[in-house]
Amino acid sequence: MAFLEVKDLTRIYGKKDNTLTALDHVSFSVEKGEFVAITGASGSGKSTLLHLLGTMDEPQEGSVFLEEEESVLGQREAKRSVFRRRKIGFVFQEYNLVPVLNVEENIQMPVRLDGKRMDPQYLEQLLKILGLTDRRYHLPEELSGGQKQRVAIGRALANRPSLLLADEPTGNLDHQNGLEVMSLLKRSVEEFCLTLIVVTHDPAIASMADRVITLSDGVVISDAKVKHALSADVSAMDGRDAHE
């Protein structure tokens, strides 16, 4: 079984004759360490899918297995929330930082909420990788948007999740800051061998992924590997060879 197995996932909102099928039998699987971008028009079901993957919502039909464990259907909320805390990190478009806590306190918050102390070495490593070491005592209001999102990424990684989910993580940033946040996200995911699923409208960000899944009206209409610069260079060279 793959790291993440999504099978026939169906989410219908509303009741009786006023229903909307936001996801319609969506199936795919993701290998450990993969970086998948989810794209699609507004209303196509991207956030709905991410919420289900994150066990924040329940489907009418279908299943999600994360590391061979069934994560959504028929599980009690108490069990789901433990599962969520231990295995899944979230990054949203809004940073949702606690305004009265400084950078390192915000990052440590999920661990503290669990009544534990964060390994100081791991905290240093996160601050360093996210370029926040010299901002560690700053409050959110003293940070730029990109820095705030980097803190939110640190917080999502605090509990060492195996799956990181991000819904439009660069939606509030300008293009340049967005790309910078994405490359930091990508680097941290590689460093800690995580699996990353990012919802995005931005083709430049989707092209950073290993694979892009496109939704339309709650259905997967395409699921394709991304050709990266290296392979593009190789094919360009192949083309030149053929020409010569």
Ligand X SMILES: Nc1ncnc2c1ncn2[C@@H]1O[C@H](COP(=O)(O)OP(=O)(O)OP(=O)(O)O)[C@@H](O)[C@H]1O
Residues that bind ligand X (CB under 6 A): 13-14, 20, 22, 40, 42-48
Report the nearest approach of ligand X to the CB of residue 48 (Å). Answer: 3
Site track 15-54 with Mg ion (rule: CB under 5 A), x = hit = --------------------------------x-------
Cα Dmax for the chain: 67
Report the nearest approach of ligand X to the CB of residue 47 (Å). Answer: 3
Report the nearest approach of ligand X to the CB of residue 46 (Å). Answer: 4
Binder of residue 89, out of ligand X, Mg ion, none (CB less than 5 to 8 A by kind): none
- The CA dihedral of 32, 88, 91, 179, to the nearest 10 degrees, is -10
Q: Which is nearer to ligand X, 14 or 239 (CB)?
A: 14
- In angstroms, the CA 203 to CA 198 distance is 12
Binder of residue 40, out of Mg ion, ligand X, none (CB less than 5 to 8 A by kind): ligand X
Q: Which is nearer to ligand X, 77 or 238 (CB)?
A: 77
